Amino acid sequence: MVPWRYHVSEHAAVELSPEAIEFAEWLTTGQNPPSELDAARIQAEQVHLAAREPEGVTYREVDAGGVLGIWCEPVDANTDYVLLHTHAGGSVLASAHVDRKLAGHIAKAAGAPVLVLDFRRAPEHTAQVDDAEAAFNWLLSEGYEPGNIITIGHSIGGFIAVALALRLRDKKQPLPGAIVSISPWCDLEIANETIATNAETDKILSKDLLEFFRESWIGGTGIEFTDTRINLNRADLSGLPPTLVSWGTYEVLAGEDEEFAARVKDAGIDTATVVVPGGQHSYVYGAGRIPETDAAIAQIGAWVREKTKI
């Protein structure tokens, strides 16, 4: 007896949904990336494996004013507040999906939901701060008070968390209640001495990689590296809400982050720092697995609760 087999002729017409077609194309891209940039982006998506899945956190995708976002909400979170989170990747790599788990840990520490943005990436787009502003305005339209929104991010996301507040200040619009800037990229001149002195200890960033990110982000735009729109260590920082700056001592950005924190304090801003001894760039990737990371996230969460009364 011949075993029963299900067979579809290779010529059989199958009407696929647009989503099924897109999924098939995505699988092909993953196996045979058409460019080095695509390959780098695929590799960067694996960084999420460094974080442990947080318990008691639910996730859902949302359209946040035209920007994809992942809503990370712990059980018993205070939903009157929200942390608007922007991910790392030099504006070129990574995504909201890479940061989903680490954002869940931060959400639990802060006691409030986190909205992780999947902002548009360079070199195709240079509208990262535009996307953050669109999401901020969407949160306002959803009924959130400006002071109940905390901007937070790491690496380029740490820059965006501050740059968004500066843009809102310059427009004389309501500001977020607080800023958390983790391992921020503050100096587009790439000139601080720790770029060289921490070159051996930083296992993520290098001067060459930063130069690649910079060229991808602002190359051909005519923007100078000292432009205050992209260089926090040249910007006027007055009028910011309470700001926490955090970095690891092993990262190449440690020097410029320390300088940035000092400039925030000198501008008369309520300032806090969380410095992680031996911490890598974007140390938050290790959330749930690395004790030093979890200790820093706990400090950040406690600071957010104190400043915003969550």
Residue 1 lies in a domain: no
Count Cβ atoms within 10 A of the Cβ of residue 170 and give its class: 0-12 exposed, 13-18 middle, 19 or more buried.
exposed
| pLDDT band of 125, cuts 50, 70, 90 | confident
pTM of structure: 0.89
Residue 118 lies in a domain: yes
Residue 16 lies in a domain: no
159-185 pLDDT tens trace:
999 999 999 999 999 999 999 999 999
Give residue 225's region: left, alpha or beta (phi > 0; psi -120 to 50). alpha
In sequence order, the 6+-apart residues with CB closer than 8 A to the CB of 190 are: 207, 210, 211, 214, 225
Residue 52 lies in a domain: no
Cβ atoms of 294 and 288 closer than 8 Å: yes
Q: Which domain holds residue 169?
A: 57-308
* Mean pLDDT of all residues in 108-131: 92
Residue 133 lies in a domain: yes
Residue 287 lies in a domain: yes
What is the pLDDT, as a whole number, of residue 3?
A: 47
Cβ atoms of 207 and 190 closer than 8 Å: yes
Give strand pairing partners of 149: 82
Of 3-12, 36-45, 115-124, 223-232, where does mean pLDDT reach its minimum? Answer: 3-12
What is the pLDDT, as a whole number, of residue 106?
A: 98
Residue 210 lies in a domain: yes
Q: What is the total count of domains within the chain?
A: 1
Query: Which three-class secondary structure state does DSSP give residue 179?
Result: strand
Residue 40 lies in a domain: no
* Mean pLDDT of all residues in 188-193: 95
Q: CATH number of the domain that 297 lies in?
A: 3.40.50.1820
